[in-house]
C-alpha cells in the first residue's frame, strides 16, 4: 500500500516543485497519501510508531538502535528522565517519513541516482507532516524534520545551521550516522565500517556536519572511553 502511494505521487515531483513551494507541495502530496492510506488522526505517538514498524521494519529497527545511542548521549549531557523520553521518541520516529519512500529505493543494491536521492531527501518533511497529522507535540515534529540538517548549514530540508538546529535533532543525527555506518542493512552496496572507522569519520566531520559538543558526548558515552580512545589515535 505505502509503496503504491509513494510511486503514484513522485514521478512528477520535480515538475511540481518548480511551481509550488516546499510546504504547498508536501501538503498536497500528504493529502493524497492520507486519502489513499486512510490514516487515522489522533492516534498519537504509539500508534504512529506501530504503523512505522509495520510498514518499514528495517528502518524501524535502525531507529530503535539510534534511540539507544541517543539516550546514552543524552545521559552524558545530564538529561533527566523526561528529556530522555522525548529524545527516545525523536530517535524512534526520525525516519518515519520513509513509510512514503518506495521500499526498492530504501534497499537499493547500489548508490541512488539523482532522482532516487530526491525521493530519499523528502523523508524528513514527510515525517514532520505525519507527526502533525497524528497530533504529536510540535517540538517532536520539528526535531523529526531537522535530523538531516548540518552544523555548517549545508544540510536539508531547510539548510539550518549551528544552534538553529534543535539540540535533540543534533544528537539523533550523530547516532543515526554512526548506526548507518556500522550496522544499517539498508545500504547493501556499502560494506559496514568497524567501530574505529566510524568514530574516525565522525571526528572528521566534527564542526562541519556535526555539533562538536554532541560528538564529544557521543564518544564519551561508549563503555570505558572507547570512543575517546579512537578519537585520540
- For the chain, 233 residues long, give each residue's pLDDT as a single digit of tens: 443 344 344 444 443 443 344 455 556 656 655 554 345 555 578 888 988 998 899 999 999 999 999 999 999 999 999 999 999 999 999 999 998 887 888 888 888 888 788 888 989 988 988 888 788 889 999 999 999 999 999 999 999 999 999 999 999 999 999 999 998 655 666 778 888 899 999 999 999 999 999 999 999 988 644 444 434 33
Please give the C-alpha separations between residue 24 and each of 49, 99, 126, 129, in angstroms, as whole numbers. Answer: 26, 20, 12, 12
Name the residue range of residue 189's domain. Answer: 42-232
Assigned domain for 158 exists: yes
Domain count across the chain: 1
pLDDT (0 to 100) of residue 191: 78
Assigned domain for 147 exists: yes
Assigned domain for 5 exists: no
Assigned domain for 90 exists: yes
Whole-prediction pTM value? 0.80
Assigned domain for 194 exists: yes
Phi, psi for 159 (deg, rounded to 5): 55, 40
For residue 30, what are the contacts with CB-CB under 8 A and spacing of at least 6?
126, 129, 130, 133
Q: Kindly report the CATH number assigned to the domain that includes residue 74.
A: 1.10.3210.10
Say how far apart CA 224 and CA 169 lie, in whole Å.
Answer: 26
Amino acid at each position: 500500500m505505502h509503496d503504491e502511494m509513494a510511486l503514484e505521487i513522485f514521478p512528477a515531483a520535480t515538475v511540481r516543485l518548480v511551481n509550488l513551494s516546499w510546504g504547498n507541495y508536501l501538503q498536497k502530496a500528504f493529502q493524497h497519501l492520507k486519502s489513499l492510506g486512510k490514516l487515522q488522526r489522533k492516534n498519537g505517538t504509539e500508534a504512529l510508531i506501530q504503523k512505522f514498524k509495520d510498514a518499514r521494519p528495517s528502518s524501524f529497527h535502525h531507529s530503535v538502535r539510534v534511540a539507544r545511542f541517543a539516550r546514552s548521549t543524552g545521559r552524558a549531557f545530564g538529561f533527566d528522565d523526561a528529556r530522555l523520553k522525548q529524545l527516545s521518541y525523536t530517535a524512534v520516529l526520525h525516519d518515519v517519513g520513509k513509510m512514503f519512500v518506495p521500499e526498492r529505493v530504501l534497499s537499493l543494491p547500489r548508490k541512488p541516482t539523482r532522482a532516487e536521492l530526491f525521493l530519499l531527501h523528502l523523508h524528513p518533511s514527510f515525517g514532520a507532516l505525519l507527526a502533525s497529522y497524528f497530533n504529536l507535540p510540535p517540538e517532536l515534529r520539528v526535531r523529526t524534520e531537522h535530523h538531516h540538517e548540518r552544523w555548517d548549514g549545508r544540510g536539508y530540508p531547510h539548510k539550518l545551521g549551528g544552534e538553529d538546529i534543535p539540540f535533540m535533532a543534533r544528537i539523533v543525527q550523530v547516532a543515526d550516522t554512526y548506526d548507518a555506518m556500522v550496522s544499517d542493512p539498508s545500504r547493501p552496496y556499502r560494506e559496514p565500517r568497524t567501530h574505529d572507522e566510524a568514530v574516525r569519520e565522525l571526528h572528521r566531520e566534527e564542526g562541519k556536519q556535526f555539533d562538536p559538543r554532541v560528538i564529544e558526548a557521543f564518544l564519551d558515552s561508549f563503555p570505558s572511553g572507547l570512543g575517546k580512545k579512537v578519537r585520540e589515535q
